[in-house]
Each structure stands twice: as structure tokens, then as C-alpha cells.
Chains A and B, each alone.
Chain A
Amino acid sequence: MAIGTPLVHIRGVTFSYGRREVLKGLDLDVHRGEVLSILGPNGSGKTTLLRCIGGASIVSGGSVRIGDVDVGSLSAPDRARKIGFLFQDHTPTFPFAVREVVIMGRAPHLGIFGSPGPSDAALADEALERVGVAHLRNRPCTQLSGGERQLVLLARTLVQKPDVILLDEPTAHLDFRNQVLTLRIIRSLAADGMTMVLTTHDPNHALWFGGRAALMKDGRFVAVGAASDVITDATLATTYDTDVRVFVVPGRGGKGQSAICSAWHSD
């Protein structure tokens, strides 16, 4: 299918934890081959929306479809072949070798009693190469830095060969260098045509990806559209209840690039 056609259809999605309504009727399409950034303050429902798209949480109302199938009706293996999910908080329990961790991504392509073979290991090596951490393949996953771990888990998501990858705050807890590294890899995956939906706390990241952005507040969308169109002083002020400015700074090769600055110093 061509790039740009709708792949994920979110229609009237609501979600409640007990009495508390977290998502209050959301409509959104995710297009094939785009990077969609979901922005919003803590508690706005970003992660919940991502979990609903991934089938990790079951919507209370409305529907999430991928292609023409309802995500909620898919079995776990079927879903894992369509959707890869990079969770925010992964605490490794056992010191599995990195390569073994990545091979786990092959699970949806193997039967219930199946176990991976040499071709799965080859795919894992390829994915580790792709995200640039092939040198880590024999390290215990418990001895990785936060940035390394994030990339290893991203590699695991890639070997699932999903149609769409969901990333929950992929740069959280990472230092500046690792943030840039992770963002670069996400961007290069996007350049290869991978569809990705991610949540982030940094509007700069959404601008940098250059795809679309959805700004959320209290379980509703404030604005959805091309990142450079919807991330403005006004929408950020509404979303985050804070005064900020969007500047365009000169980028390399003469192209302008936006940057967000707090407006505190203008008082």
C-alpha cells in the first residue's frame, strides 16, 4: 500500500480506570509511513492512548482498527505481528544475553511450543546492526546503560516485523547524547517507511521528526496536524498551561528548524 494511506483508525475511543475517564472520545488516523508524535502533560492520557492502540489496554468505548481488523479482536500473536510496542519502563530480571533478548521478538512468528532457529538469530543480528548496537550482542542485558537498553529493545521490536511501532517516551531517562542517538535512529527508520507512533514530553522532538503531532490535554486532543503547524505558542500554552515561545533557528544547509524555549526570562 502507498505511503500516506490510513493504517490505524482510532474512532471515538474512550477509556476509564474505574470511575475516572482518561480518554474522552478520541478520533485519529495514523498514516502508513509517518511518525506521529503524541504530546501532552503528565496524566493527559498519552500512554493510555498508546496502550489502547497497541491492545495492551482494552478500550472502554469506540474502536481501534489496524487495516480493517479491530485490535481488540486479535489474538496476542496476531497482534504482535502487526504492532510492536516499546514500553517505557523495562526492568530486566534475568541477565539474558542481548542477542537472546532480541530473538524474543521472533516469538509471534513461531508456534506456541516453537523456539527460534538460526534464521531468527540472523534477523536479530541484522536488527542489532540496524540500530547500531551489534557490538553489544553478547553482553548480559542487565549490564546495559539506559540508552543501550532502549536501542536493544527497539531492535527486538524490529524483528517482530510489525506494520506499526508504538514507542512510549523512547527518550525518557536518557542523557542528551543518547536522546539524540535514539531520535536519529527513529528518524532513519521513518525514512525507511516504518510507521511509528510515539509519546514524548519534548515538543522539540516532534518538530525534529517533522511528521504529524497530536497535542493532548485531559483525555482530549487540543490540536492534530503537521508538527510545524500545530506546535505553536498558542497551542503549547493551552496544552501545558505555561508561557513558551517557538523560535526558528537556522539549521544546517540553510533550512530553518524550530526550537521551543520557556518564556520565563522574558518577564
Chain B
Amino acid sequence: MTRRVVLVVAPFVLLYVSLFVGRFDIAPEDVARMLASLVVSIPHDWPESVATIVLQIRLPRALMAMAVGAGLSISGAAFQGMFRNPLVSTDVLGVSAAAGFGAAVAILLDRSLLQLQAFAFIFGLLGVVITYMLARVYRTTPALMLVLSGVIVAAFFGALLSGAKFVADPEAKLPAITYWLLGSFNASTVRSVVTIVPAIAVGVAGLLLVRWKLNLLSMGDDEARALGVRTEWLKGIVIACATLITSAAVSACGVVGWVGLVIPHVARMLVGPDHRALLPATLSLGASYMLVIDGLARTATAVEIPIGILTAIIGAPFFAYLLRRTSATWQ
């Protein structure tokens, strides 16, 4: 019970903290009053520049971090259940590689940020559509075929991305591509929150709707079908939702690894394997984790650290610890 309360409250506390912590110190009570001013009219006795930092820069960035963290984590959990494999994450169908290539193309073509996000998003979806079609045999999509097709698509788009980097102008565009791929939330604006967070929310809602059926799908295709599950529909829904989330996430902040792999395991340790409890728990943990990581990214050193580096530096050893503790079982 207390665990559930903590899971519900934690992301909101961290959201609040992340609004007053930063390179520019702002008093927590001022942040509270600024937030309150969004809903009720209270006297504005703070400088406009401070309000801009909190409401136009930190708030969108924190909301984006929460949405991406929550979205990648719930997708990872859904995929681990669907593929019955603890080493699977949202990248397994090639979405990140394809989205990364899309972003690189946009940078090569001197497109605006909004267009870059659109490119990344569309290529991400395209990559998964190719994977899905490759994996289709006799009107079914066996898990092994999906994973292998995902490897092929990821390798292919990885090569295209290398090609894009190779032809990029090494003075300006190559660094832009590289930095973008390392991941950052510093491009989060009110506008990108308004476009990207709803896309993630739709995917999350879809996964939450089928969360009990994921328990059945984790029994394997034959058994799930014998229990009356339309397995191809269900897999299609899960893949579509997870891909929507991951494409939107990559388009928002670049490629952020490890979150979708590690957070589901942590959530499973806390609430058990039942996806009815597991998926909501991953939302809370993923959002909280990403707020902490982004907080570190923007405050730990004088220069902002790319998100992808931090998630791997923290995520990989933590995953190693989990692996040693559980010997690769699900407990």
C-alpha cells in the first residue's frame, strides 16, 4: 500500500524538485507560486526572466523527460512480456536505428527542428513497418522472426546512418548528428511538448488497455490463442503502441538507451510480474528515473552531459547487478 503511494507521488515530487534545481537557483516557494499562477490569479512579484526559466524552459523539459521515461519504460515492459525475453527493449524492432537515420537526413538537408522531429518519427515508424512485414509468415508473426527481422532492419539503417555521417560536413553537420544521437532534452519547448507528449500518451493508453492480455500473451502464442486471444491483433496493438511511443521519444530527445531495458526489471522486483500492476509501475519509475537523469545531465558539470551517456553509464552497471542477483531469471 505504502509502495503504491510512493509510486504515485514520486514522479510529481521529482517534477517539482526539478523545477527549482538547476544552474540558476530559484526558491522552491517561488516555483510553487509560479505554478499556482497558471491556474489561479496571484500577484506576480517575481522577475519575468525567472518565470521564463521555470515555465518556458524547465517545465516543458521536465514534462518531456517524464513522458519519454515513462513511455520507453512501459514499452520495454510490454515487449519483454510479449517476447518472453528479459533482454528485449524498445529498440528490438529497429525503431531507434531508423529514427536516428531520419534525424541525420534532416540535419543533412538543413531542416528545422520541427521537421527533424517529423523525419525521425516517420523513419522510426517506417523501420518497424519493414520489420513487421519481413517477420510475417503464414499470417502470423512469430517472436523469433520479429527479433531477427529487427536485427536486420537495425543493421541496415545503422549502415545508412554511417553513410549519412560519412557524407556530412565534418565542421558543422557531423557534430550536430553526433550530438543529436547522444540524446538531450534541451530542445524541449512548449511546442514540442504539445506535439510529442500526446503521441506518447496515446501509445501508453493503448498498452494500459491490453495489460491483462499481455499476461496471456506471455504464455506463448499457441497457449494464448487456445485461451481465446487474437494473438496477431494483440501483437499488432502492442507493436503499434510501443513504436508510436519510441518514435515520438527518439524524435523528442534522440536515442536514449537502457531505460526500456532496466526500468521494467526494477518494476518487476517491486510489484511482481502481473502486467496489470507492472505497466503502471513502469510509468512511475520511468518518469522518475528520467527526471533524475536529466537533473544530473544539466547540473552535474559545467557543460550539459548527453542523456544517452548517462542512462548507459548508470543503466549498464545496474543491469549487471540485477543479472548477478537474479541469474537472468524473472524473480
Q: Quick check: B330 and A80 within 8 Å, CB to CB? A: no
Contacts of A40 in B (CB 8 A): none
The interface size bin for chain A is 20 to 34
Q: Say whether A54 faces chain B, with CB atoms less than 8 Å apart.
A: yes
From B81, B228, B229, B230, A94 is in contact (CB under 8 Å) with B81
Q: Say whether B215 faces chain A, with CB atoms less than 8 Å apart.
A: yes
Q: Quick check: A107 and B225 within 8 Å, CB to CB? A: no
Contacts of B212 in A (CB 8 A): 114-116
Q: Quick check: A96 and B228 within 8 Å, CB to CB? A: no
Contacts of B304 in A (CB 8 A): none
Q: Say whether A245 faces chain B, with CB atoms less than 8 Å apart.
A: no
Contacts of B84 in A (CB 8 A): 93
Closest residue to A81 on the B side, CB-wise? B228
Q: Quick check: B81 and A108 within 8 Å, CB to CB? A: no
Known: A87-B222, A104-B215, A112-B233. A80 touches B228 (CB 8 A): yes
Q: Say whether B227 faces chain A, with CB atoms less than 8 Å apart.
A: yes
Between A and B, how many residue pairs show CB distances below 8 Å?
79
Q: Say whether A170 faces chain B, with CB atoms less than 8 Å apart.
A: no
Q: Say whether A56 faces chain B, with CB atoms less than 8 Å apart.
A: yes
Q: Say whether A137 faces chain B, with CB atoms less than 8 Å apart.
A: no
From B219, B222, B230, A104 is in contact (CB under 8 Å) with B219
Q: Quick check: A80 and B227 within 8 Å, CB to CB? A: yes
**Stretch touching chain B among A71-79, A183-191, A197-205, A254-262:** A71-79
Q: Quick check: A93 and B218 within 8 Å, CB to CB? A: yes
A window 106-123: CB within 8 A of B: 107-108, 112-116
Q: Say whether A15 faces chain B, with CB atoms less than 8 Å apart.
A: no
From B209, B215, B223, B274, A90 is in contact (CB under 8 Å) with B223
Q: Say whether A219 faces chain B, with CB atoms less than 8 Å apart.
A: no
Q: Quick check: B229 and A107 within 8 Å, CB to CB? A: yes
Q: Quick check: B218 and A54 within 8 Å, CB to CB? A: no
Q: Say whether B33 faces chain A, with CB atoms less than 8 Å apart.
A: no
Contacts of A115 in B (CB 8 A): 211-212, 276
Q: Shortest Cβ distance from A59 into chain B, in angstroms?
A: 14
Contacts of B226 in A (CB 8 A): 54, 56, 80, 83-85, 87
Give the one of A81, A96, A97, A105 with max B CB within 10 A. Answer: A96
Q: Quick check: A76 and B81 within 8 Å, CB to CB? A: no
Q: Quick check: B330 and A79 within 8 Å, CB to CB? A: no
Instruction: Give bound CA distance, A112 to B210, whole Å.
Output: 8
Q: Say whether B213 faces chain A, with CB atoms less than 8 Å apart.
A: yes
Contacts of A77 in B (CB 8 A): 228-230
Instruction: Give bound CA distance, A107 to B217, whole Å.
Output: 11
Instruction: Give bound CA distance, A78 to B136, whole Å.
Output: 24
Pull 9 A–B residue pairs with CB atoms less than 8 Å apart, ordered by A. Answer: A54-B226, A94-B81, A94-B215, A95-B272, A96-B215, A100-B215, A108-B227, A108-B228, A142-B330
Residues of B at the A interface (CB closer than 8 Å) are 81, 84, 209-213, 215-216, 218-220, 222-223, 225-231, 233, 272-274, 276, 329-331
Residues of A at the B interface (CB closer than 8 Å) are 54, 56, 75-81, 83-85, 87, 90, 93-97, 100, 104-105, 107-108, 112-116, 140, 142, 156, 160
What would 13 more interface pairs be, CB under 8 Å, given A76-B230, A84-B226, A94-B273? A56-B225, A76-B225, A76-B231, A80-B225, A80-B226, A80-B227, A85-B226, A90-B219, A107-B227, A114-B212, A116-B212, A142-B330, A160-B227
